A and B are shown apart, each in its own frame.
Chain A
Amino acid sequence: MTALLTLEHVSKRFGGLRAVNDVSFDVNEGEVLFIVGPNGAGKTTLFNLITGFLPPDEGILRFAGRVLTGTSPHVAARLGIGRTFQIVKPLRNQSVLENVMLGAFLHTRSVAEATARAREVLAFLQMEAVIDQPAHGLPLATLKRLEIARALATHPKLILLDEVVAGLPTGEALALADLLQRLPEWGVSAVAGVEHVMQVVMRVAHRVVVLDRGRLIAEGAPADVVRRPEVIEAYLGAKYKQVTG
Chain B
Amino acid sequence: MEAQLWSALQAVLNGLLTGSLYALVGMGMALIFGVMRIVNFAHGAFMMLGMYATFVLFDSLGLNPYIGFIAAAAVLFVIGVASYQLLLRRVAERSDFMQILLTLGISLIISDGVQLWFGADYHQISIPLLDVNIHLGTHITLNAPWILSFAITIALAVGMFLFVMRSRFGRALRAIAQNRYAASLMGIDVRRTQALSFGLGLAAVGMAGGLLLPVFYLYPDVGGQFTLKSFVIVVLGGMGSIEGAAIAGVVLGVIESLTSLYWGNEWALVVDFALFLLVLSLRPSGLFGSQRV
A–B contact (CB under 8 angstroms): no
Residues of A within 8 A of B (CB): none
Residues of B within 8 A of A (CB): none
